[in-house]
Structure 1
Amino acid sequence: MQKKQNPMLVGQPVLIVVDIQKSAFMDDGAIPLMPGMVDRMLKARRVIDAAREGGVPIIFLQESHRKSGVDYGREMDGDEDEHLREDWEGTKLASEEIGLRDDDYVIVKRRYSGFIGTDLSILLRGLKAETLVMLGGLTNICVHYTFADGHQNDYHCRVVDDCVAGSSIEAHDAALANMEYLQHGARRSSDEIVAAFRTFSKDRAA
């Protein structure tokens, strides 16, 4: 069967930066991390900067849990230990690495998906978003579940495959394959996305 290749960007794009927090650079052992995590998160800055230059809205997601642990739910039933507690240094966004600004959109979430229990849907409607471009971590957890919910809410979804990292190489690869299964052409390189954001900027100026 011939696979349909969807366009890179459809309508208004929004960049969603998923959980690039200080813990990604600390490897405290609470969450398994694949090799190359730091390099991939640092590489995301180029895409973030291109979005700013192209006038593409950016939303930063931040997973954070209350000190009481009341909102962890079933998150520690698997491989993960207690993680990203609101009073831990590693829970803070990696502001310097991602170039966070005071007026940026930041959404705190208690679940893996950015859509669960947050106002992400309201913000996306306000931004008139049609294409969601995602990067960050973990590929097989928060990126994957946010992607899947975006897909089920009828957004065009793309993932920057060299700017995401998973809990293992195997899980990372499987999650990317699953996202590509949902939307052909979902997997895009940072070079492709940066070029697309620059074209978007030129198209707006025309």
Structure 2
Amino acid sequence: MTSPRSLTALIVIDVQRAFDEWEAAGKRRNNPDAVARIADLLKAFRASGAPIFHIRHEGTRPTSSFRPESSGYAVKDEAREAPGEPVIVKRVNSAFIGTDLESRLRAASLTTLVICGATTNHCVETTTRMAGNLGFDTHLVRDATWTFDRVGPDGDAHSAEAIHAMTLSNLNGEFARIVSTDEVIAAFGAA
């Protein structure tokens, strides 16, 4: 990361209890330490006084695990916002659509975004693509995001690891720089 801390924001996407419920129901994910890495990022950003934006998904379908009245809507304790850290609620995959995220970032002159959260190939990917398209210097933290196994349209099974890796490959270079938690924390320590 080349931008100073004063121009850098952490975007924490959808770290909500619905994902714990999915796992409890038998869905398999990759990157089991991702939430711990998100906690590490939160600690580093808070220690440096850099801005943090929490994104929360609000499901609109009747069967959504993310409906506001459901237990899955709540944020996981490890990623809970601190006083003064904004929570932006979205209803689609991108944190930029139907929210004031972009205007908040521009108003604060934030040019570099560090993105983490869930899931890699849905809301994280969509938000990362849009951030890159909007001209932000975007960094996606590879070990602070995760996804789940999926079955493709032809019935082919795809592992969470393969989906995660392909998503990172698709985003790398054109939409974002793919980084690790340690790289981000080291950059903050050197700033």
Rounded Cα–Cα distance in structure 1 between residues aligned with 2:103 and 2:186: 28
- Tell me the SS of whatever aligns to 2:22: coil
The equivalent residue for 2:167 is 175
Percent identity for Structure 1 against Structure 2: 28
Give the TM-score normalised by the residue count of structure 1: 0.79
Alignment of 1:146-157 (within 5 A): 146-157=127-138
1:16 aligns with 2:11: yes
Runs of 4+ with deviation above 4 angstroms: 28-33
Over aligned residues, Cα RMSD in angstroms?
2.1
Give the TM-score normalised by the residue count of structure 2: 0.85
Q: Structure 1 residue 197: deviation in Å?
A: 1.8
- Is the Cα–Cα contact under 8 Å of residues 8 and 50 in structure 2 kept in the other structure? yes
Rounded Cα–Cα distance in structure 2 between residues aligned with 1:107 and 1:90: 17
Q: Structure 1 residue 192: deviation in Å?
A: 0.7
Cα distance change of structure 1 residues 24 and 35 upon mapping to structure 2, 3 Å threshold? same
Gaps (5+ residues) in structure 1? 1-7, 71-80, 201-206
Rounded Cα–Cα distance in structure 1 between residues aligned with 2:129 and 2:98: 15
CA displacement 1:83-137 (0-9 Å, x = unmatched): 311111111111x212422321100000011001001011101221111100111
Number of corresponding residues: 178
Rounded Cα–Cα distance in structure 1 between residues aligned with 2:21 and 2:10: 25
- Is the Cα–Cα contact under 8 Å of residues 23 and 29 in structure 2 kept in the other structure? no
- Is the Cα–Cα contact under 8 Å of residues 31 and 143 in structure 2 kept in the other structure? no
1:195 aligns with 2:186: yes
- Is the Cα–Cα contact under 8 Å of residues 11 and 116 in structure 2 kept in the other structure? yes
- Tell me the SS of whatever aligns to 1:147: helix
Q: Structure 1 residue 181: deviation in Å?
A: 3.6
Alignment of 1:20-99 (within 5 A): 20-27=15-22, 33-37=28-32, 39-66=33-60, 69=61, 82-94=64-76, 96-99=77-80
Rounded Cα–Cα distance in structure 2 between residues aligned with 1:93 and 1:127: 25
Q: Structure 1 residue 155: deviation in Å?
A: 0.4
Gaps (5+ residues) in structure 2? 149-159
Cα distance change of structure 1 residues 26 and 9 upon mapping to structure 2, 3 Å threshold? farther
Rounded Cα–Cα distance in structure 1 between residues aligned with 2:54 and 2:80: 11
Q: Which has the higher contact order (CA 8 A, sep 6+)?
A: 1
